[in-house]
Amino acid sequence: RHQKNWELYVAVMRGSTGADDHATESEDPPEKLSGEDVCRLMRKHKKTIKQLSFMLGITCKRIRQVRDSGLDDPLAVRDWLEKITGEDPGPIPSSYRINHHTEEASCNYCGCPLYVGDTAFEYVGDAFCSRSCCRKSRGWV
């Protein structure tokens, strides 16, 4: 029995099981976006540098810099994706610290217990032990 539990734990931590059971139609915005991805998305959605500059309220020079180097900030990535695609990519999982025993919970994906002092991630009312588990629970892998 313990061997099977261990195998299941290892499989879940590697992300190889359960993703299909909890999949939804939404997708998580990536935390980083390369310059090539920005260019590809702009071509796909027929957005010019000038249009994007107007929508984001930034200079054309900054748009060209991002097309060369990409974006590292998850909030900026979310804003850029929304302006390029015209669709809201959804909320970003937020982290919080468990400060009281009444806040203790289990990860809604892998079942890892979350105790006082642990950092948890909240997304649409569910608690997760990591951003990875949040993504996998929604089928965002």
Q: Tens digits of per-residue pLDDT, 110-133?
A: 999 999 999 998 887 889 998 888
DSSP conformational letter for 71: B
pLDDT digits (tens, 9 = 90+) for 45-93: 999 999 998 888 889 999 999 999 999 887 788 889 888 988 876 667 7
Q: Are 128 and 121 in contact (CB under 8 A)?
A: yes
Kindly report each contact of residues 100-107 with a partner whose C-beta sits within 8 Å and lies 24 or more positions away, as own/partner.
107/133
DSSP conformational letter for 60: H
Cα separation, 78 vs 83, in Å, equals 9
Cα separation, 115 vs 100, in Å, equals 8
Q: What's residue 126's pLDDT?
A: 87
Q: What's residue 31's pLDDT?
A: 75
Cα separation, 37 vs 125, in Å, equals 31
- In terms of pLDDT, which residue wins out, 30 or 15? 30
Q: Which helix (H) or strand (E) holds 40?
A: helix 35-44
Q: Are 71 and 77 in contact (CB under 8 A)?
A: yes
pLDDT at 141 over 60: no
